[in-house]
Chains A and B, each alone.
Chain A
Amino acid sequence: MSKSNKTGKDRQNREQVIRFLFFGVALASITTLFLIALFLFVEGIPVFKEVSVSDFVFGKHWYPTDDPPDFGIFPLIIASIAVTVVSSAISIPLGVLTALYLAEGTSARIREWVKPVVELLASLPSVVIGFFGMVIVAPVLQEILDIPTGLNLFNASLMLAFMSIPTICSLSEDAIFSVPGELKEASLALGATRWETIWRVIFPSAISGICTAVILGMSRAMGETMVVLMVAGGATMIPTSLFDPVRPMPASIAAEMAEAPFQSEHYYALFAIAIILFLFTLAFNVIAEQFSHRYRQVGAATL
């Protein structure tokens, strides 16, 4: 009797240890996130000995290799925001409409074919999209619109849109799909058409999920590197038209890191840009998290 008690205790102890081990490993993601933030700050902060935070963020000139160098990333920030906004203008309607099509507008058989297409679109490597934009889309744009270069804000936004559509589409579809069937049936029973049901009932119930999807899609567009590196044109100026070449933050980091001497001011400055970029995407993600948490989808309206 006492022996079996002892093995029982052993078993329990072992279970506790295993549980604790799993807990430890589960903290890996948040540890990694913390390490990323830590190392960005450690390597990025030293640049602020040379230039004040406000000069860095609002300075209009980025000439990191000049003597004396200028570390103003305002044009880079504006470029990042510009490509994100323009690409969202394309990707949000396309993504949400495709999601509505998948969830409400078609038969299960067609959905089985269209959904994988969207997933495959999501899996296209960014360098391939960038390459495509560079060698196929850019010459076409240049020819048709008669502009000096096809590598510009518009081209980059177009390519980014096709990278964020799958994110927006599949997350929105999940949200739309999880609207309770009762709501839809009630609306149809009252004589509403399918479109009226979608517009007045399904869309409002799924809006929080759709907003989350849109924000995550925008965050993806802002952080995407290879596309803007290869397609955006690379000029560090504040764009005045849709067809100006620009240099968003990720492009600057990726293009200049190889040339920046180790632990030079330029090196620190690039890490500081990464801090700004990291904070932007972190903000996007936290907002998305809040949306999905606070405005949680309402269940069926049963009494």
Chain B
Amino acid sequence: MSMDVQDKKMDSINRKEGVQFRRRFIQAGMFSLFRISAVINGTALLVVVYFLVARGWHAINWTFLSQPPVDSMTQGGILPCIVGTLCLSIGAIAVALPIGVASAVYLNEYAQPGRIVRLIRLGINNLAGVPSVVFGLFGLAFFVVYLEMGVSILAGSLTLGALTLPVIIGSTEEALRAVPDTYREASLGLGATKWQTIRCVVLPAALPGILTGIILGVSRAAGETAPIMFTAAVFYTPSLPTSIFDEIMALPYHIYVLATAGTDIEATRPLQYGTALVLITLVLGLNLVAIIYRSRLRKKR
């Protein structure tokens, strides 16, 4: 009798242990699944960067960086593309920065929650979701044709500016939110107006965060291809740009052209790898700077 009870007890303990074991087993399994997916992501980045570096760095030398392409773009360097990409990124930021910061200031400092704010936010979110090729078509129809800017740095910068606007608004808002309300209250308490408070207290305090946004915006604009295909970039121009109405070459478009429509696609592979390497060095470098800078800022708080 007592043996029986003992057995039953043991049995139930065993079963409980079995259940416990199963629960732990499932947990361990799921957690390794998490880890595996994170590793896959990291590997993807590493593999892309590895191949581009391994195959691209032979192509990179001073001539490659400082000379224009020659012999129907089968030889020579990519100087005009580097210059073009710099022009476009700076132009895009020149467009997006004032508008983006002002929008963020309005949303974060002035606006009362309500219908209009929701509408503006809906606009920003949807603008962020517009496909890049649609930006390209818009730039073509509006800036290039309707406003008669032609295929030019100006048209490309405006198109890219529209595309980077949500990035700038997002990071500026984050920076503004991080400014403690006590700063604002102290300034207002001293008799400053709202605008004086924003200009002299809030914006300076948010400046580092806005700077991160600028870096991210530049890198985004530098890497985009589809929006500049019809608005700014051309296959080949012999000279460097002299005014904002010139058409230019750009790194991303140069990669695309060499890889799909070049004179001798196989023979120019090293040039393609080299150009891709220069582009990702620029873009990943800028992003890395922004990420490190931002994490420092966050720690300081």
Residues of A participating in the B interface, judged by any CB pair closer than 8 Å:
11, 14-15, 18-19, 21-23, 25-30, 32-33, 35-36, 39-40, 42-43, 93-94, 97-98, 100-102, 105-106, 112, 114, 116-121, 123-132, 134-136, 162, 165, 169, 193-196, 198-199, 216, 219-220, 222-226, 229-230, 250, 253-254, 257-258, 262, 270-271, 274, 277-278, 281-282, 284-286, 288-289
The prevalent SS among residues of B at the interface is helix
How many angstroms from the CA of A219 to the CA of B162 in the assembled complex? Answer: 19
Contact of B131 among A26, A258, A281 (CB under 8 A): A281
Contacts A131-B272, A274-B133 known; A125 to B260 CB distance under 8 Å?
A: no
Asked if A116 and B136 sit within 8 Å, CB to CB, the answer is: no
Asked if A26 and B141 sit within 8 Å, CB to CB, the answer is: no
CB A258 to nearest CB in B, in angstroms, measures 7
Asked if B35 and A105 sit within 8 Å, CB to CB, the answer is: yes
Q: Which 5 A-B pairs have the closest CB atoms?
A: A223-B131, A125-B223, A30-B123, A101-B34, A195-B27
Asked if B48 and A132 sit within 8 Å, CB to CB, the answer is: yes
The prevalent SS among residues of A at the interface is helix
Asked if A257 and B229 sit within 8 Å, CB to CB, the answer is: yes
Asked if B133 and A98 sit within 8 Å, CB to CB, the answer is: no
Contact of B103 among A29, A134, A169, A281 (CB under 8 A): A29
Q: Which residues of B contact A23 (CB under 8 A)?
A: 106, 110-111
Q: Mark B284-295, 1 if CB is under 8 A from A, else 0.
A: 100110010001
How many angstroms from the CA of A233 to the CA of B208 in the assembled complex? Answer: 44
Q: Which residues of B contact A124 (CB under 8 A)?
A: 45, 48, 223, 280, 283-284
- Chain B interface size range: 35 or more
Q: Which residues of B contact A224 (CB under 8 A)?
A: 131-132
Residues of B participating in the A interface, judged by any CB pair closer than 8 Å:
23-24, 26-27, 30-31, 33-38, 40-42, 44-45, 48, 51-52, 98-99, 102-103, 105-107, 110-111, 119-120, 122-127, 129-138, 140-142, 145-146, 162, 165-166, 169, 193-195, 216, 219-220, 222-226, 229-230, 252-253, 255-256, 259-260, 269, 272, 276, 279-280, 283-284, 287-288, 291, 295
Asked if A225 and B27 sit within 8 Å, CB to CB, the answer is: no
Asked if A22 and B102 sit within 8 Å, CB to CB, the answer is: yes
Asked if B283 and A11 sit within 8 Å, CB to CB, the answer is: no
Q: Which residues of B contact A277 (CB under 8 A)?
A: 131, 133-134
Add 10 more A-B contacts to A23-B111, A98-B37, A135-B259 (CB < 8 A): A21-B102, A29-B127, A30-B127, A97-B37, A126-B226, A128-B48, A132-B52, A162-B44, A223-B129, A262-B145
Q: Which residues of A contact B98 (CB under 8 A)?
A: 25
Q: Which residues of A contact B146 (CB under 8 A)?
A: 39
Contact of B137 among A119, A121, A132, A271 (CB under 8 A): A271
How many angstroms from the CA of A196 to the CA of B27 in the assembled complex? Answer: 8
Asked if B34 and A97 sit within 8 Å, CB to CB, the answer is: yes
Q: Which residues of A contact B107 (CB under 8 A)?
A: 26
CB A273 to nearest CB in B, in angstroms, measures 9
